[in-house]
Every structure is written in structure tokens, then in C-alpha cells.
Amino acid sequence: MKVSAYQACVRSGLVLCSIMGFSTLAVAGGFQIGEMATRASGMGSAFTAVADDASAAWHNPAGVAFTQGSQLMGGSAVLMVPGVKYSSNAATTGAGGSTQEGGGTFFIPHVYYTYMNESSGLGGSIGVNSPFGLETDWSTTGPFASKNTFSRIQMFQVNPSLVYKISDNLSIAAGANYGKLLNVDLNSSNQNLNGNGDGWGGNASLMYKQDNFSFGVSYRSKIKVNIDGTAIAGGTLKNTFGATTSGAKSKVTLPDQVNVGLAYRPNKDWLLSADVDWVNWKTYDAIVITYNTAAYRTAVSSLQTAIGATATGSTNDPRNWKATTAFRLGAEWAYSPTVRTRFGYVFDPTPSSNVDWSPSTPDNDRHIVSFGYGYDINAQTTLDLFYGYVYFVKRNQTASPATPAGSPNTVKNGDYKSQVHMLAASISYKF
């Protein structure tokens, strides 16, 4: 993703702060990545009420109560992004034309461990993954280079939880979420920004199981992250004022979310599941960046018309995202004692505002279809594989405003098309 330098830092950077440590074009709403475990991904990640393998550490820790002993899972998803295609439309101002974002291949690893002591009814889990991430690489000479060029966020998240089995049918869990932003790079032709930060949140979940039916709820809180970094001026900012470098600070709040799921086994061979995911993207309303160096603040303040800065020399980039609700469906067919195949479908709407939309997060409503395969190598070890295709509905952007007067956002108007191919593999071990 990218944004004008300061904007990059503002919208992308900080927004993406939450982004995972392994950059990629996000494949769930906003800049979230929903594919956090191979088996679950094959079922459209409709896994909140399933959560019976080690990835329960992420999808619903309360599900650990209905497992035995210890489980360990490790693997990685691979996202192949051809790149976002842009072409100008009747609402575009400036050079217009067409261009393509760089795309790339991105790796998203995950590791999960769970333990359950049946006699005490107590257990625990821990997961390490990258649930947010984004990278976009637009041309430095492209039609909106003054707004967006290169943006990247690298992040990992650690999720420890404690589990308690209340009864044969009901369990609860609670824990902490720690997010670390390793690298936030947000560039435009006016400014480059690099920074990092971390923050804490919490999680709580519930699982109810009876016969062939299960119900699950999982909640993850907001994570507030303070970003410390360095801004390096370029283009108009540097040429006009000569202020080249400054410390820069900002804050971002990663969204809280609620996942509700149902699962049903009509017979011993089939497992059906459905999830509804609510994500509070309203936390991404704006990104404000302040600069530590007085000369840099003066330069930014003087250029406020061109770059959207305030009179105090800070920058304020509105995002005004909205909360979203995604729908996930999954199925698993055990057609032999050691082999299973899986299917999934996801509809995930965009949270982005039509007016404040940015090529740094070239998002729109998306449809995901997925296929999975599982093979028991032996009684303790399972290999899981997954393929998914993400189709982004073509975005016909026409609402970007003609402000600020010196650098109108209408240069971002245009048609955007993108798609993503996903592969994943993992090994699970029970002991």
C-alpha cells in the first residue's frame, strides 16, 4: 500500500500497523488476513464452532476443552498476488492512463500449541501468527505518486489463553493478544516513513457441544499501538524547505471483532459449518502524524494545502471506515478413514469509505472459494493442504474529492481490479 508520504504514514502505515509481519495484499476485509490455518482455510475459515485441532488457539481457544492431551501445528500460507490493475475513468484528474501495482509472493507462517488436562478440566493454548498485513507497490512516476507509492507492514501476533471446561457440554477461555509491528514503510513522492510499535489486547471465547451440534463464540479486543519512526522528506517537501529528516509518531487502534459459529455433523463422514464475523473497522477513522523536528513541522505546516497537513505541522488523513459483517461457509468430507476433502465460501464486504478511499488499501467487496485436503500420515501426524481464490469486485472509484485545492484527491479516481491465489500447507502432531 502507499500513500502520500505523510499520508502513507498516516493511512497506510498506521493503519496497517496492525498488519502482519509478512506483508501481503490482505484477503479478508480491510487489511485483515483470514487464512490463519490450513485445515480451517479449506473450510472457508468457518471454524469458530469446530476448533478441534491446534488452530483452536486462534479460532476459538474454548474448543481446546474438547480435545485430549497436546497438539502442535506448524505451517505457512503462500499468497500469490498478480498486482492491482488501475485505469482512469471519467472522474479522474491528472495524467490518468493505466498502471499496475507490483504484486508479489508472500509467506504467512503460523504455529499453534494446545494442551488439555481432562481430569482437572483445565487447559491452555498459544498461537503465533500474522492476522493483518498489506503491501502495495505503485509506480513512483504513476498518476497518483504524490499520494501513494510503496507501503508495507510487517507484524506478528502472540495469543496465549487459559481454558476451563465447565461441564461435559460447555467451556470457556480467556487470554491476551500481543501485536508487534516490525516494519511500517509508507512512502510517496513527497515523503518516506519507517516506524514500528506494539500493543496489547485480550480475547475471550465460549464453546457448547452436544451430540453432533456445536456452537462457538470468540471475541478479540482492540489493540492500541503507538508508532515511533522516522520521516524523510522528498519531492516538494524537500525541494522547497530542505527539511530532510524528522522523528515521527502516531497511533492506531486495531479493530475488535466477534466471531459466531455453528457446526453440525449429519453423519460420521460429513462436517458442515457456518460463521458470521463482525469486525469493528470504525477504529480506523483517521491517522494523525506528529513530527519531532521543528523545521520539519514548519515545512509540513507551510505545505498544508498540498499535503493535507494542519496548521500545527502534523498531518491528519481521514479513513472513516465502517464496521463490517462477513459470512463464511465450510464443509469437510471424510471419504476414507485417513483422507478428507474440504470446501469453503466467504463473502467479505469492504469497510472503506467511498470518499476517503485510497490506493494504499485497494480494497473492495470480495468473494473467496476454497478447497482443502487432509491426510493422516499416522495416528499422530496429519498433513493438510489448501488452495483458495480471492475475487475482488471491480472498484469504479468516482467519489474522491477535489480537495485539497493544491493537490486534489481526484487523481485517485479510476477503475481498480485485483485477485489473489492462496496456497497453504501444515503439519499437525498429537501427543
Here the CATH number for the domain that contains residue 354 is 2.40.160.60
Position 286 scores a pLDDT of 81
Candidates 129, 110, 124; CA nearest to 63 is: 124
Of 51-55, 207-211, 337-341, 401-405, the least confident: 401-405
Alpha carbon distance 205, 203 (integer Å): 7
Position 316 scores a pLDDT of 77
* pLDDT tens profile 352-393: 989 988 888 888 999 999 999 999 999 999 999 999 999 999
Alpha carbon distance 259, 61 (integer Å): 12
Domain total in the chain: 1
DSSP state of 32: B
Residue 344 scores a pLDDT above 70: yes
Position 17 scores a pLDDT of 32
Candidates 351, 352, 347, 389; CA nearest to 366 is: 347
Position 242 scores a pLDDT of 67
Predicted confidence band of residue 309 (pLDDT cuts 50, 70, 90): low
Position 250 scores a pLDDT of 84
Which string of DSSP letters, residue by residue, matches 220-282?
Answer: E--EEEEEEEEEEE-HHHHHHH---EEEEEEEEEEPPEEEEEEEEEEETTEEEEEEEEEE-GG
Which cell is 55 given? 488452530
Residues 6+ apart with CB under 8 A from 240: 299, 302, 303
Residue 24 scores a pLDDT above 70: no
Instruction: Give me the domain span that covers residue 120.
Output: 5-430
Provide the CA 340 distance to its chain's centre, in angstroms.
28
Position 289 scores a pLDDT of 82
Residue 32 scores a pLDDT above 90: no
Position 6 scores a pLDDT of 31
Between the ranges 31-40, 52-61, 396-405, where is the mean pLDDT highest? 52-61
Of 88-97, 218-227, 285-294, the least confident: 285-294
Does pTM surpass 0.85? Answer: yes
Residue 326: Cβ within 10 Å count = 23
